[in-house]
Structure 1
Amino acid sequence: MFASNLTSRVRIVAILSSVTLLMAACGSSESASDADESDRLTVVTTVAPITSIAANIIGDRADIVGLVPEGTNSHTFEPSPSAAEVLSEGDAIFINGLQLEEPTKRLALAARGDDVPLVELGDLTIEPDEYRYDFSFPESEGKPNPHLWTDPTLVKVYADIIRDTMTDVDPSGSDHYDENYEAFAALVDEFDEAVTAALDTVPVGNRKLVTYHDAYAYFADTYGWTVVGAIQPSDFGEPTPSEVVALIEQIEAESVPAIFGSEVFPSAVLEQVANETGASYIDDLRDDDLPGAPGEVDHSWLGLMKFNFVTMTEALGGDATDLATFEVRDVAPDEATYPQ
């Protein structure tokens, strides 16, 4: 009887011990999971094209949070106070720079940790003697045209800077960032070839851009085009009557066949200019508002630029058939947050 009771007690103790160990193991697993979650990196970006480029390099090694809503004027965007909390949690912050997002930059400088890099991509990509100034970005005001991301060759530099920064922040991910960068750079090179082939079909005399918001100064330098003018003044208000008359005269003198409005900046003035000059008016060129919705394949930097270059080529008398079939794709999962 005693032996039987002893055996039963030993079994009970063994069972209880197993349960205790199992619970401890589960508890350890949950703690490790929680720790992994708390150790996950956060990267903060500004405009959507930069968010997309960063997502291609970073992939799933960090949570990527964009701050500037798509479809807004990124030049005048004022971040809400809640953005300070997002910035304070960032392990790296990427902005375009070249004075595009000054309110966001000021908030980031105040909110970030002492060891968190605030990277101004544009300032690291070109030197001051390469800055472009124009009607919308006059040199007298000291603010260069900041739209480097419309030039694929400069986007590769953006991606390289993001790769190097993330390697410093997250050394264990070095191979991951290198692999994604190499794949993205190859994709951009492939796209650049397709763009060049399409643009070469545009008659030489038509390779001229008149836009509402001048986002193509660096693109024009690289691909040998001319930016005839832009109608949006540097204060983002409406142009004066004399400025409109001067642009009309320039368009007529240059025989510009088409002028481009902005999806973000609709302009009755530019439509009037088109009517006065007989040029075609295309009103949906995009500066930094990605096509489609987050999660869709075209919602990317590559989708944005494909749309714009196809639109330009066709409107100015070229053949965009091959470019229109170019496969838009990311080289890494894009699960970034894009405010709408």
Structure 2
Amino acid sequence: MQTERSEGIAVNRIVGVLAIACFVLAVTAACGGDDNGSSGESNKKLNVVTTVAPLTNIVKNIGGDRIDLTGIIPDGVDSHTFEPRPENAKQLANADIFIMNGAHLEGSSEKVAEENLKDSSKIYKLAENTLSGDDEKTGFLYDFSFPRSGGDPNPHLWMNPQYARKYAELTAGWLSDNDPANKSYYQDNLQAFDVGINRLDSAIRAATATVPQSNRKLLTYHDSWAYWARQYGWSVIGAIQPSDFSEPSAQDVARLIDQIKAEKVPAIFGSEVFPSPVTEQIARETSAKYINKLSDDEPPGDVGAPEHTYVGMLAFDMQQMIPALGGDAAPFDNFPVQNTYKP
């Protein structure tokens, strides 16, 4: 009798231990297990790599905090001639997707991406998915620094807010394709960004209306305003920088001086990324105002500042350009430029 009771107690203890063990395993599984488990993998953020700062900011406004984002071309660095460094190759090797402008802007970066990306990673090109063909009204543009004979179109599509909107739409689709669990989050961020683009577009149109029609002419050092000008009815009458991104010849400078005088251009615009004494010389000899702060790939302020955004860059440019050409930049007073993505 004593023996049977002892054996029963032993069996009950074993059953109890097994029950507790099963309970612990169930709770552990429900909580997601350790960081190396399959649930941990499902919570891993997309690793996204981009190129120039404006594109990086557009992608940030769609991906928000649900992606890990790296822009490999530093602010203020010429994207046309940028040469990737060893750390960029490592960043690309860890990327899930690489979003680039395309249109032959980032030749070296694209090559390094192709050499280092994982087989499962993807390369997405924004420009080629936004425009096609070379119709002067709707397609890629060839002009002063990007002649048709060279085969490379002007790649600065993002300077046109409507194309920036398309870039954002493409980004939302690509992020959703690779991370469907966060599709609604990306779509919500796209809607918020779209509101900001509408506001920016309206302000540019209002400011343009204050500039005399005869003054709606741009002569810039770097040829990056073609798509913006086409959108808002301006003319780009020239670019100081030659197609090989060198300094212009004496003959080129003389021709530009004659053109500015003939067309009575009130202001010419330099570039923070391409500082050049030639632009100052042209301004002196034509009595045109010289504005040296226009930017096409460096948002204002420090990284992390509220104004360091794509919208902030365009708003800042308008505040420089419009008054210099006889207009009123009041539509950009207290203009909201901060990021719009949800936390």
In the alignment, structure 1 segments of 5+ residues that lack a partner are 1-9, 335-340
Deviation per residue, 1:127-168 (Å, 9 max, x gap):
121111222111111111111111101101100110111111
SS of corresponding position for 1:290? coil
Tell me the equivalent position of 1:122. 127
SS of corresponding position for 1:311? helix
Q: Map residues 1-340 of structure 1 onto 2, 5 A cutoff.
A: 31-32=34-35, 35=40, 39-129=44-134, 130-332=139-341
Structure with the bigger RCO (C-alpha within 8 Å, sep 6+) is 1
**Code of the aligned partner of 1:266:** P
**Code of the aligned partner of 1:59:** G
Distance in 2, Cα, partners of 1:115 & 1:256: 52
Distance in 2, Cα, partners of 1:242 & 1:322: 40
Distance in 2, Cα, partners of 1:67 & 1:271: 31
Does the 8 Å CA contact 1:46/1:95 hold for their aligned counterparts? yes
In the alignment, structure 2 segments of 5+ residues that lack a partner are 1-12
Higher mean C-alpha deviation, range 35-44 or range 298-307: 35-44
How far off is 1:120 after superposition? 1.0
Distance in 2, Cα, partners of 1:72 & 1:333: 29
Does the 8 Å CA contact 2:131/2:140 hold for their aligned counterparts? yes
Higher mean C-alpha deviation, range 325-334 or range 220-229: 325-334
Distance in 2, Cα, partners of 1:300 & 1:25: 43
SS of corresponding position for 2:192? helix
Does the 8 Å CA contact 1:55/1:333 hold for their aligned counterparts? no
SS of corresponding position for 1:43? strand
Greater Rg, structure 1 or structure 2?
2
Percent of pairs identical after alignment?
A: 44
How far off is 1:32 after superposition? 4.2
Tell me the equivalent position of 1:6. none
Does the 8 Å CA contact 1:79/1:103 hold for their aligned counterparts? yes
**Code of the aligned partner of 2:125:** E
Does the 8 Å CA contact 1:44/1:86 hold for their aligned counterparts? yes
TM-score (normalised: structure 1): 0.88
Distance in 2, Cα, partners of 1:73 & 1:188: 25
Deviation per residue, 1:296-333 (Å, 9 max, x gap):
10001011010011211111010111213211121116
SS of corresponding position for 1:51? helix
SS of corresponding position for 1:184? helix
How far off is 1:233 after superposition? 0.8
Tell me the equivalent position of 2:7. none
Aligned length: 320
Distance in 1, Cα, partners of 2:225 & 2:333: 20
TM-score (normalised: structure 2): 0.88
SS of corresponding position for 1:286? coil
**Code of the aligned partner of 1:222:** Q
Distance in 1, Cα, partners of 2:244 & 2:328: 36
Deviation per residue, 1:7-26 (Å, 9 max, x gap):
xxx9xx99xx89x969x959
**Code of the aligned partner of 1:230:** A
Does the 8 Å CA contact 2:72/2:88 hold for their aligned counterparts? yes
How far off is 1:175 after superposition? 0.8
Does the 8 Å CA contact 1:47/1:74 hold for their aligned counterparts? yes
Distance in 1, Cα, partners of 2:319 & 2:274: 20
Does the 8 Å CA contact 2:193/2:340 hold for their aligned counterparts? yes
Deviation per residue, 1:98-120 (Å, 9 max, x gap):
10000000111121123322111
Distance in 2, Cα, partners of 1:70 & 1:38: 31
Distance in 1, Cα, partners of 2:237 & 2:176: 41
Does the 8 Å CA contact 2:308/2:338 hold for their aligned counterparts? no
Does the 8 Å CA contact 2:49/2:72 hold for their aligned counterparts? yes
How far off is 1:33 after superposition? 8.5
**Code of the aligned partner of 1:64:** L
Distance in 2, Cα, partners of 1:299 & 1:224: 27
SS of corresponding position for 2:293? strand
Does the 8 Å CA contact 2:189/2:342 hold for their aligned counterparts? no
Distance in 2, Cα, partners of 1:304 & 1:37: 36
